[in-house]
Amino acid sequence: MKKQEADYKEKAGYVAIIGRPNSGKSTLLNNILGQKVSITSPKPQTTRLPIYAVYEDERGQIIFIDTPGIFGKVSDPVSKKINPRAGQVLKENVDLVIYLVDHTRDRELEENKIIGLLRKIDKPKLLVFNKSDIRAPSFYPHYTFLEDEFNETLKVSALHKHNLNLLIQSIFERLPENDKIIDTSKPRPTPALNLNSKTFIAEIIREKAFLFLRKEIPYSLTAVVDEIADRANRVMYIRARIITNSDRYKKMIIGDKGWMIREIGMAARKELQTATNQKIFLDLTVETNPHWHEALL
């Protein structure tokens, strides 16, 4: 027993999650970690920048990277900025790549782009089929040719947390022996390693806008937090804006007599209060700026 303990070494490394839009990458990461680090919605373009977050147990440490979904055809200015980001992450020093596939959707140009990227990566790769709880429709046979190109194939349900333990075990088996990369004893402003408090709060607001607006508005909006301040009685004051590129969309976001913006603000405030265990006063407004995407990171 003492010899086994002496021989045991922790593992640590970077693991990128790649896939087409809405394959469940953010849901997978959130449910592995047991807390929200990446926003989710039924819309493409939800994740716009890579999100870094740490998972840790007695086996070691995994730095997950949730990448933006890769689009097949890119036309709008926002997608043009988002699309190269997953490929840029893969060029960095990642130790393993998870290719997350939604088996309920057939192969399209998006999948072919991802496969092309992955074939250039000389790192361990896991082929992970998501939504294993759904039996039909299913296009598993259209992806089986890929299995020989990956170190292992797994089936999971990110939403229902099925087989996530097997996925974590497969990752640790292939990570290098290493010291911890992140000192988790130090407090961090947000669960995401690479987001400051303003950016994280803005992401929560944007998620709620996407969820409430659904198909009523295209992806032409963003959120910006201008001020965070602690006030009396442990109330956190947040001043933020939802920015869209058209007055027509601004009216939709505000809604009849301000109904929609109140709903968005209320949902964001509730989630932030739960996350911070603090009362939140959210001062949320809407403005038009047709050039907001030019400042997209």
157 is in an annotated binding site: no
70 is in an annotated binding site: yes
248 is in an annotated binding site: no
79 is in an annotated binding site: no
196 is in an annotated binding site: no
289 is in an annotated binding site: no
In angstroms, what CA-CA distances link 1 with 4, 5, 59, 60? 5, 6, 17, 20
68 is in an annotated binding site: yes
197 is in an annotated binding site: no
230 is in an annotated binding site: no
What single DSSP character describes residue 196? -
E-assigned strand segments in the chain:
11-18, 51-57, 60-66, 96-102, 125-130, 152-155, 221-231, 235-244, 279-288
How many CB atoms are closer than 10 A to CB 86? 25
251 is in an annotated binding site: no
**59 CB-side CA count, 13 A:** 13
247 is in an annotated binding site: no
283 is in an annotated binding site: no
Beta bridge mates, 14: 63
H or E element in which residue 265 lies: helix 259-276
131 is in an annotated binding site: yes
87 is in an annotated binding site: no
42 is in an annotated binding site: no
17 is in an annotated binding site: no
69 is in an annotated binding site: yes
> Annotated binding site for GTP, which residues?
19-26, 66-70, 130-133
Residues annotated in a binding site? 19-26, 66-70, 130-133
